A and B are shown apart, each in its own frame.
Chain A
Amino acid sequence: MLAATIAGSAALAAPAAQAQGKSLTLCWAAWDPANALVELSKDFTAKTNIAMKFEFVPWPNFADRMLNELNSKGKLCDLIIGDSQWIGGSAENKHYVKLNDFFAKEGIKIDDFMPATVAGYAEWPKGTPNYWALPAMGDALGWTYRKDWFAKPALQAEFKAKYNRDLAAPKTQTELKQIAEFFQGRDVDGKKVYGAAIFTERGSEGITMGVANALYPFGFKYQDPKKPYAMAGFVNSDDAVKGLEFYKSLYKCCTPPGYSNAYMQEGLDAFKSGQAALQMNWFAFFPGLFKDPNVGGDKIGFFVNPAEKETGSQLGGQGLSVVSYSANQAEALAYIKWFASLDVQKKWWELGGYTCHKGVLNDPGFAKSTPFAADFLVAMGQVVDFWAEPSYAQLMQAEQARIHDYVVADKGTAKQALDLLIQDWTKVFKEDGKL
C-alpha cells in the first residue's frame, strides 16, 4: 500500500518538475540545415537546461505561415530565423527585438560576421548600425553540375570540337548556356538528359530569385546608387534587358520538359534523378547533394554563379531574431549569445549549417573543408539581395508576375517587362511615401 502511494506521488510529481523547466520554440523552414540546428541545439540544452522546441514549416508555406504568426502577434515562436527580405518589415512593425544593446552588453561583435550577411540579414535601415538579427545561415544561389558526365572522354572531345574549349565548369553566363545546350536532349548512359534545372516558380519567389542570377551579371541594378528608388535606366538598362533575354533563352533551350513552375525542390528532383547536367540552387542544399548516393560524391561538382559583364549572385540566407511577443525573451537572448560563440559556429558549419562567422570562414582550412566551401566564400563575396523594404512582398509579387509573363508565357518583350516592373515598383514606393 505504501509502495503504491509513493509510486502514485512520484507519477504526479514528474510533470510538475518538467513544467518548472524553461523551453524555447525556434521557428524556421523545414530543410536540411534545420535538422542540423536541432542537432546543434542539444548542446545549448545540455549547457543551460533550457529545452528547445522547433516549428519547421515547408518552404512553400514558410513566409505565409510565419508572417501571419508575426502579424497576429503570436507567441508560438520565441526565436525565428526569418528570410532576409523580412528584416525591414519586421523591424518597422516591431516584430523583432532590436539587438544593439544586447550585443553591446554581452560583448557580441557584429564585425565578427561577414559584412554581406550583416547587411543582408541583420541591418535595418540598410547601411545603418541598427541590428535586428544575428546572421545565422549564410546562403547564396550557386550551381551544381554532373562532374562524371563532364569527365566522359567522348563528350569532352565533342564539346572541344564544337566550342574550342574544355568541357568544364563555366566561367561566364554564355559558357553556361553553351554547356546547357550541349547536354539538352542528349543520351547519357542510355538515358535522355537535359541542360539546366533553373527556377521558374510563379507563386512565391522562385523565378525572381532565379532570374536575378542572370540579371546581376549582365548589369541589372535595383536603383541608382546615388539616388535611392530611382530605377529608370538601372532596372531596365540595356544590360538588364540582355540579362532577361538570356534567362528566357536558357529556359526555352535547355530545361527539362514541364519545367514551367519549378523552384528548389523541382531542381533537386531533376538533378537527383539524373535528368539535368546543371542545376541552379541554394548552397544550403549542397551538403545534402554531396552526400546523395546516386549523384553525390565524385559525380557532383559545384561552381559559383558565373560572371558576364560583372559578377553577382542572388543572396539567400537568414538571420536569427528574438520575437518581441515572446514571453521568454531572456532565454531567447541567451540562445543568441550561445549561438554567436566561435566554438558553436564551428560546430554549426561541421553539421551542415552555413556559418557567417569570420572566425570560421577566414580559417585557412575552411576553403578545403568541403568541395563547395571555396565557392561559398566567393559567392558570399558577390551577393546582391532583393529589396528588403517593408513592402517587399508587393515588390516581389510584381516581379514574379512580370518576369513569368515574359519568360514562361511569352508575353511582350524583355524591355516591356522591365518597364512595367518599374511602373509597379514606383506605385508601391509612392504608396509607402518613399517617392
Chain B
Amino acid sequence: MRAPSVPIVHQVRGLSDRTIAWLFIAPTMILLLAINLFPLIWTIQLSFTNYRANRPFAPLRNVGIEHYQTILSDPEIWQRMQATAHFVFWTILLQTVIGFALAYLIDRKFRGHGFWTTLILIPMMLSPAVVGNFWTFLYQPQIGLFNYVVSFFSGLAPSSFQMLGDVTLSPWAIIIVDTWMWTPYVMLICLAGLRSIPDYIYEAAEVDRASNWRQFISITLPMCLPFIMLAVLFRGIENFKMFDMVNLLTSGGPGSTTELASITLKRAAFEAWRTGYSSAFAIILFVTVFGLANIYVKALNKVKAR
C-alpha cells in the first residue's frame, strides 16, 4: 500500500511548513534584532538624556530634544556636514568616472588584461590604516613622491606646497587617497555590468550599422546604469561614515578643514564621552543616510524597471 503524499515535515510532531520555516529563521532574526534593533532603540532613548558613559554615578536627566536642537543649530556641525558632503560628492564622482573608464578598458580583453586587473585591485585590498600611513609619507613635502611628481610636471619646488597642511589642498588630498583606494571597487561592479550585457545586442547594433559611440550611448551606458548606481550607493554610504583614513591623514585638520561628521561624532562619543549628545548626532546622521539611500534606491529601482 502506498503512503499518502504528505510532506515529511508534517510528520514531525505535527508542525506545519510555516512553523518549521519560522523555527529555522528565528535564531537569525533574534540575532539580527539583538545586534541591530536593540542598539538603535537604546541609542534613540539615550539621545533624549544627559547620559555620559564615563559618569555612571551622575544623575540621569531627561533633556527632551535639547541635543537635537543644539546639534542642528550649531554652525560648526553644519560646517562638518558641508565638509562631509564635499568629500562624498567628489569621491563618488571621480570614482565613478574613473572606475567605469577602467572597467570599459579592461572589458576590451587586451593582452595582459588579467595582470592589469589584479594590479588595479591592489589598493582596495589594503587596510585603510596602511593606506593612511602610506599616503602620509607620499604627501611629505621633503621626501614624498607625490610632491616630486607634481613638481616634475608643474615646475613648483617639492617643498613649496603641503597637501596635508594647507586648508585648500587638504580636502583634495583625502579625496585623492580615497579615489586611489576605492576606484577599483567601482571598477569591479562596472565590469560585472559590462560583462552582463549579451553579445547579441551588440551584434544586432552592428547589423544596423550603429557606430561605436551610438552603441556606447544606447546600449552600454543604459544597461550598465543600474550597476553604476549600485556602486554609487555603496560608496556614498561608506564615504558618509568615513573615519579611519581621514583620521590618519589629517586628524581633521588643518584647523577643522577636513573634520568630517564621523570624526566629530567619534570625538564626542569616545573622547569627550557625551553619550547622550553623540547618540542624538548619530541618529541625525543615520536618518540622513537612511533617507537619502531610500530616495536613491527608489530611483535605482525605476532605472532597473526600464
* A interface with B by C-beta (< 8 Å): 63-64, 67-68, 70-71, 89, 92-94, 201-204, 256-261, 390-391, 393-394, 397, 401, 404-406, 408-411
Specify which of B253, B271, B274 is in contact with A404 (CB 8 Å cutoff).
B253
Specify which of A89, A259, A405 is in contact with B54 (CB 8 Å cutoff).
A89
Find the A residue at minimum CB distance from B251.
A203
How far is B25's CA from A322's CA once the two chains are assembled, in angstroms? 48
Q: Count of chain B residues with Cβ under 8 Å from any Cβ of A?
A: 32
Residues of B within 8 A of A94 (CB): 57
Find the B residue at minimum CB distance from A406.
B255
How far is B159's CA from A261's CA once the two chains are assembled, in angstroms? 16
Specify which of B57, B167, B253, B270 is in contact with A261 (CB 8 Å cutoff).
B253
Give 13 A-B pairs besides A391-B272, A408-B253 with Cβ atoms closer than 8 angstroms: A71-B273, A202-B252, A203-B251, A258-B140, A258-B162, A260-B162, A260-B164, A261-B250, A390-B55, A397-B271, A404-B253, A409-B167, A409-B255
CB pair B254–A71 under 8 Å, yes or no, is: no
CB pair B57–A408 under 8 Å, yes or no, is: no
For the complex formed, measure the closest distance between the CB of A233 and the CB atoms of chain B, giving whole angstroms.
Answer: 25
CB pair A64–B254 under 8 Å, yes or no, is: no
Residues of A within 8 A of B257 (CB): 409
Please list 29 pairs of residues, one from A and one from B, whose beta carbons are closer than 8 Å in the complex, sorted by A's number: A64-B270, A67-B54, A68-B270, A89-B54, A201-B251, A203-B252, A257-B142, A257-B162, A258-B139, A258-B141, A258-B162, A259-B165, A260-B164, A260-B166, A260-B253, A260-B254, A261-B165, A261-B253, A391-B272, A393-B272, A397-B271, A397-B272, A401-B259, A404-B254, A408-B253, A409-B167, A409-B254, A409-B256, A409-B257
Residues of A within 8 A of B164 (CB): 258, 260-261
Specify which of A93, A202, A259, A410 is in contact with B55 (CB 8 Å cutoff).
A93
Find the B residue at minimum CB distance from A255.
B165
Specify which of B142, B167, B250, B267 is in contact with A397 (CB 8 Å cutoff).
B267
What does the 1/0 interface line of B241-261 toward A look like (CB < 8 Å)?
A: 000000100111111110100
Residues of B within 8 A of A64 (CB): 270-271
Residues of A within 8 A of B252 (CB): 202-203
CB pair A257–B54 under 8 Å, yes or no, is: no
CB pair B162–A71 under 8 Å, yes or no, is: no
Find the A residue at minimum CB distance from B161.
A257
**Contact of A71 with B53 at beta-carbon distance under 8 Å, contacts A260-B165, A261-B164, A261-B250 already known:** yes
CB pair B253–A93 under 8 Å, yes or no, is: no
How far is B159's CA from A259's CA once the two chains are assembled, in angstroms? 11
What does the 1/0 interface line of B270-291 toward A look like (CB < 8 Å)?
A: 1111100000000000000000
How far is B166's CA from A406's CA once the two chains are assembled, in angstroms? 13
How far is B274's CA from A394's CA once the two chains are assembled, in angstroms? 9
Find the B residue at minimum CB distance from A68.
B270
How far is B165's CA from A256's CA once the two chains are assembled, in angstroms? 12
CB pair B165–A408 under 8 Å, yes or no, is: yes
Total A-B Cβ pairs within 8 A:
90
Find the A residue at minimum CB distance from B159.
A257
5 A-B pairs closest in CB distance: A409-B255, A260-B165, A203-B251, A202-B253, A405-B255
**Contact of A63 with B253 at beta-carbon distance under 8 Å, contacts A93-B56, A93-B57, A408-B165 already known:** no
Residues of A within 8 A of B247 (CB): 203
Interface centre among A70, A89, A93, A260 (most CB of B within 10 A): A260
Specify which of A203, A256, A404 is in contact with B142 (CB 8 Å cutoff).
A256
How far is B254's CA from A411's CA once the two chains are assembled, in angstroms? 10
How far is B53's CA from A404's CA once the two chains are assembled, in angstroms? 28
How far is B57's CA from A94's CA once the two chains are assembled, in angstroms? 9
Residues of B within 8 A of A68 (CB): 270
How far is B152's CA from A13's CA once the two chains are assembled, in angstroms? 69
CB pair B142–A401 under 8 Å, yes or no, is: no
- List B residues 39-69 near A (Cβ within 8 Å): 53-57
CB pair A258–B272 under 8 Å, yes or no, is: no
How far is B158's CA from A257's CA once the two chains are assembled, in angstroms? 10
Specify which of B56, B256, B270 is in contact with A405 (CB 8 Å cutoff).
B256
For the complex formed, measure the closest distance between the CB of A59 and the CB atoms of chain B, giving whole angstroms.
Answer: 14
Find the B residue at minimum CB distance from A427.
B70
For the complex formed, measure the closest distance between the CB of A87 and the CB atoms of chain B, giving whole angstroms.
Answer: 14
How far is B141's CA from A71's CA once the two chains are assembled, in angstroms? 40
How far is B257's CA from A401's CA once the two chains are assembled, in angstroms? 10
What does the 1/0 interface line of B122-166 toward A look like (CB < 8 Å)?
A: 000000000000000001111010000000000000010010111
CB pair A92–B55 under 8 Å, yes or no, is: yes
For the complex formed, measure the closest distance between the CB of B160 and the CB atoms of chain A, giving whole angstroms.
Answer: 8
How far is B55's CA from A258's CA once the two chains are assembled, in angstroms? 39
For the complex formed, measure the closest distance between the CB of B39 and the CB atoms of chain A, giving whole angstroms.
Answer: 16
How far is B270's CA from A404's CA once the two chains are assembled, in angstroms? 21
How far is B271's CA from A93's CA once the two chains are assembled, in angstroms? 15
How far is B56's CA from A406's CA once the two chains are assembled, in angstroms? 36
Find the B residue at minimum CB distance from A275.
B142
Residues of A within 8 A of B256 (CB): 401, 404-405, 409
Find the B residue at minimum CB distance from A89.
B54
Find the B residue at minimum CB distance from A203.
B251
How far is B247's CA from A141's CA once the two chains are assembled, in angstroms? 26
How far is B266's CA from A64's CA once the two chains are assembled, in angstroms? 11
Specify which of A70, A93, A394 is in contact with B272 (CB 8 Å cutoff).
A394
For the complex formed, measure the closest distance between the CB of B279 and the CB atoms of chain A, giving whole angstroms.
Answer: 16
Find the B residue at minimum CB distance from A395.
B272
Interface centre among A64, A258, A401, A406 (most CB of B within 10 A): A258
For the complex formed, measure the closest distance between the CB of A193 and the CB atoms of chain B, giving whole angstroms.
Answer: 12
CB pair A63–B255 under 8 Å, yes or no, is: no
How far is B262's CA from A352's CA once the two chains are assembled, in angstroms? 40
Residues of A within 8 A of B57 (CB): 92-94
Residues of B within 8 A of A390 (CB): 55
Find the A residue at minimum CB distance from B263.
A203
Find the B residue at minimum CB distance from A207.
B253
How far is B248's CA from A204's CA once the two chains are assembled, in angstroms? 12
How far is B53's CA from A70's CA once the two chains are assembled, in angstroms? 11
CB pair B271–A63 under 8 Å, yes or no, is: yes
Residues of A within 8 A of B254 (CB): 202, 260-261, 404, 408-409
Residues of A within 8 A of B56 (CB): 93
Specify which of A201, A259, A408 is in contact with B255 (CB 8 Å cutoff).
A408
Find the B residue at minimum CB distance from A258.
B141
For the complex formed, measure the closest distance between the CB of A432 and the CB atoms of chain B, giving whole angstroms.
Answer: 10
How far is B142's CA from A397's CA once the two chains are assembled, in angstroms? 30
How far is B162's CA from A408's CA once the two chains are assembled, in angstroms? 12
- List B residues 10-37 near A (Cβ within 8 Å): none
Residues of A within 8 A of B139 (CB): 258
**Contact of A71 with B253 at beta-carbon distance under 8 Å, contacts A258-B162, A394-B274 already known:** no
